[in-house]
Structure formats: structure tokens, C-alpha cells
Amino acid sequence: MAAFEKIRRRIHTPIAAEIERQLLMNHYAEAAALLLEHYYDPRYEHSGERHGHEYIHLQIDDPNDGVNKVTSFLQQLKLQQT
């Protein structure tokens, strides 16, 4: 909880309350999903915009799906460069 309290003020109040509720119920996966969506993703997007980086967004269902989609994307990128 101490780590969450350090970033809580940067998250919209109702979302922060839900994250805290999930943490208190030991529902860490749900809390992590909310943190990724409402804290980390926006911070990465803001950072990328500030530094002129382009991000690729992939919707994934699970880790294996993520590996497959990233692999496929990299193969397509490699084909475009040849």
C-alpha cells in the first residue's frame, strides 16, 4: 500500500479508490490491470509524445497471445525493410 500511496495523487480519484479497494481485498491482478490502464499507459504515452516516439498498440488476451502478436509484428516490420 505504501507504494500505491506514492502515486495515488496522479490517478483520477474514483479509479484510485477502486485500486485501493482491490488491493485491500488482495485482488492484485485486478489492481495491477487498473494501474496499467490508468497510470502506466498514460504516462508512457505522454513520455513518448514529449520525446517524439511512436508507439505500437497491440490488444492482447494473455501472455501467449502477446508473444504471438509481437512476433508477427516484428516479422512484418522485417519484411517491410527488405
pTM of the predicted protein model: 0.53
Phi, psi of 49 (to 5 degrees): -65, -40
pLDDT tens figures, 30-73: 999 999 888 876 666 655 566 566 667 788 888 899 899 999 98
The pLDDT of residue 37 is 84
pLDDT-derived band at 14 (thresholds 50, 70, 90) equals very high
Q: For residue range 16-40, what is the model confidence (pLDDT) as tens digits? A: 999 999 999 999 999 999 998 888 7
Alpha-carbon distance of 27 to 39, in angstroms, equals: 17
Q: Which amino acid is at 60?
A: I
Asked whether the CA dihedral 66, 7, 30, 28 is positive or negative, the reply is: positive
